[in-house]
Amino acid sequence: MYFLNKQLQNLVRVFDQNDRRGYLRLDLNENPGGLPEDFINKVLEDVTPEFVAQYPETKHFSEVLASYLTTTPDYLCLVNGSAEGIRYIIEAFTSPKGKIVGVVPSYFMFQVYSEMYERNFTPVPYHEDLTIRSDDIINALTEDTQLLILLNPNNPMGNVYSDDEFEAIISVCRQKKITVLVDEAYYYFWPKTFIKYALSERHIFITRTFSKLFSMAGCRLGYVVGAPEDIKMVQKLCTPHNTNAFAMKFAQSIIETPGMIDMLVSNFQNGRQYLIDALDTHGYRHKGEAGNFIFIEPKSDADTIVKRMKSEKKILIKTYSNVGEFGNCLRVSIGERKYMERFMTALLELDT
């Protein structure tokens, strides 16, 4: 008997990100410049036929990563990009028709997965001034809520939670027995982390990625942090050998190369400072400086700017529509200063 999962029939997926070569890519929050070329070549130097032929082994890299995070490997589950970890958490800790609460707009896959697995996603919208209020999140948490998804910092607005706000939210989750997922894809761009919760109590997960600051989006590597009992459940959902050997090799080299992470942070910070100053100088309102992206209110039509950036300037950026008092806006990934200069020059020319 033929069978098709009904959820898939109505599920809308957008796979439009396959023709981006040759553009300055400021649309998906990657590092536009990537890792230094000599570093890449050095890492590849000892890639052997055996290395390529063999299934990837995770033990050693898990130990390196755990020690870097000052924990042990049983608190970690390696995944093929944090998008995979998020999916597993939704699959493992919510049921069909189960209620998931999350701030909107945000990383779109939370809602895609909710639909894919027939979960009920309850959105908590931003306010007109683009702030998230912890009370709104708390008010959305009912006895039947199974999962709360937070982002620290949030994409696309870059909002962050204070310790008090986070603690207030978490204490309601503990009381109502709600699992919490904190997506820290943009950790390092905003160094405040809530990882200590995932390392010290059950039912709280952190997801992180090597795609953003670590500049390895093409390799696909992320990880989930949580209590060992909970991590075991996430691990059970993983496909066999889900973690790529090249990804682990690059990630390990970044962690073990003295000064590499600091260099990536500092390049990023210089680019960010330049862009913020330039936007201020030219009278642009902006928001979202806590991640590696910025949200800009343009002076003319946002969609037209995005189209012209692509066709005339070979620069990819994104629009977001109806976002609070900003209306239709641009979201631009932040990278090294030279890329931000190129973007700013193009913006001033096109946004008239």
Ligand X SMILES: Cc1ncc(COP(=O)(O)O)c(C=O)c1O
Q: Give the footprint of ligand X on this chain (CB under 6 A).
A: 28-29, 81-83, 107, 151, 155, 183, 185, 209, 211, 217, 222
Backbone angles phi, psi at 86, to 5 degrees: -60, -45
Residue 157 three-state SS: coil
Compute the least distance from the CB of residue 156 to ligand X, in Å: 8
CB closer to ligand X out of 107 and 166: 107
Q: Using alpha carbons only, how large is the chain's radius of gyration in Å? A: 21
Alpha carbon distance 62, 73 (integer Å): 6
Quick count: other Cβ atoms within 10 Å of Cβ 95? 10
212 touches 189 (CB < 8 A): yes
CB closer to ligand X out of 217 and 279: 217
CB closer to ligand X out of 107 and 117: 107
CB closer to ligand X out of 211 and 243: 211
Compute the least distance from the CB of residue 317 to ligand X, in Å: 14
Q: Is 185 exposed, middle or buried (CB count within 10 Å of its CB: 0-12, 13-18, 19+)?
A: buried
Quick count: other Cβ atoms within 10 Å of Cβ 46? 8
Compute the least distance from the CB of residue 277 to ligand X, in Å: 25
Compute the least distance from the CB of residue 313 to ligand X, in Å: 23
Residue 304 three-state SS: helix
Q: Length of the chain, please?
A: 352
Alpha carbon distance 232, 74 (integer Å): 8
Compute the least distance from the CB of residue 222 to ligand X, in Å: 4
Q: Is 125 exposed, middle or buried (CB count within 10 Å of its CB: 0-12, 13-18, 19+)?
A: exposed
CB closer to ligand X out of 160 and 278: 160
79 touches 238 (CB < 8 A): yes
Instruction: Write the CA distances from 49 to 135, 239, 245, integer angstroms.
Output: 56, 24, 12
Compute the least distance from the CB of residue 211 to ligand X, in Å: 3
Residue 344: both structure tokens together: 């700013």
CB closer to ligand X out of 155 and 243: 155
CB closer to ligand X out of 107 and 190: 107
CB closer to ligand X out of 65 and 217: 217
Compute the least distance from the CB of residue 187 to ligand X, in Å: 10
Residue 317: both structure tokens together: 């950026």
Alpha carbon distance 39, 297 (integer Å): 37
Compute the least distance from the CB of residue 86 to ligand X, in Å: 6
Beta-bridged to residue 190, according to DSSP, are none
